[in-house]
Chain A
Amino acid sequence: EAEVAQSPRYKITEKSQAVAFWCDPISGHATLYWYRQILGQGPELLVQFQDESVVDDSQLPKDRFSAERLKGVDSTLKIQPAELGDSAMYLCASSLSPTGELFFGEGSRLTVL
């Protein structure tokens, strides 16, 4: 069982609706990542946090996506409004440090209708 917790595991929503995903990293892990994985492709980094600060969000579509890690522990990724092309698996990963091994959660699978 993955030690990085993610919820919900599955989400079906209609386009233009808002959706949010939650991630709780392994205790003590300062670095947290959100990836998007479209079916049949490898993961794509959306955002990297170091504690509560964003290190890299260059691939995050900021017009509709937002991510926060207010207390440097758990994190929320939000999409508003959702579009059909957002259907994907959203993976959260954490590591002790930016140079450390990544540990992944089981992901949140989003379907936008």
Chain B
Amino acid sequence: AQKITQTQPGMFVQEKEAVTLDCTYDTSDQSYGLFWYKQPSSGEMIFLIYQGSYDEQNATEGRYSLNFQKARKSANLVISASQLGDSAMYFCAMREGPMDSNYQLIWGAGTKLIIKP
């Protein structure tokens, strides 16, 4: 079974609009973390935002926020006021186990976001 599911292969969004990228996850661990990365055409994976399973508040980083719904096992990325430079692939990833343990990231298949001018 897929541990990380990103159901949107691609999205077109008008510049300046907000966009939500979906991510659902599957784990039996109580301690885990969820990441969002951006991958532009240059190839580099750029870290955007992190949410720990015990974090009570939704994570925010500038225009990025994570809509964490633990009971539904979803961790959607919200980008406010989208910009042309936001066009990229976006990946959701999960680490299982406590923060102070060795971990490996489990990756979703990604969503290709294109911002229209």
Of A17-25, A65-73, A103-111, the one contacting chain B is A103-111
A89 to B107: give the CA distance in the assembly, Å.
15
Q: Which residues 11-59 in A have Cβ within 8 Å of B in the complex?
A: 40-45, 48, 55-56
Query: Shortest beta-carbon distance, A74 to chain B, in Å?
Result: 18
A41-B110, A42-B91, A42-B108 known; A98+B103 contact, CB < 8 A: yes
Residues of A that sit less than 8 Å from B by CB: 2, 9, 40-45, 48, 55-56, 89, 91, 93, 98-99, 101-107, 109
B104 and A42 form a contact (CB under 8 A)? no
Contact pattern, B 74-117, Cβ under 8 Å of A = 1, otherwise 0? 00000000000000000101000001111111011110000000
Most buried by A among B4, B99, B101, B102: B102
A41 to B45: give the CA distance in the assembly, Å.
13
A41-B109, A42-B108, A42-B110 known; A99+B45 contact, CB < 8 A: no
B99 and A2 form a contact (CB under 8 A)? no
A101 and B104 form a contact (CB under 8 A)? no
Contact pattern, B 41-66, Cβ under 8 Å of A = 1, otherwise 0? 01111110000000000000000000
In the complex, chain B residues whose CB is within 8 Å of the CB of A55: 102
A58 nearest CB neighbor, chain B only: B104
In the complex, chain B residues whose CB is within 8 Å of the CB of A107: 43-44
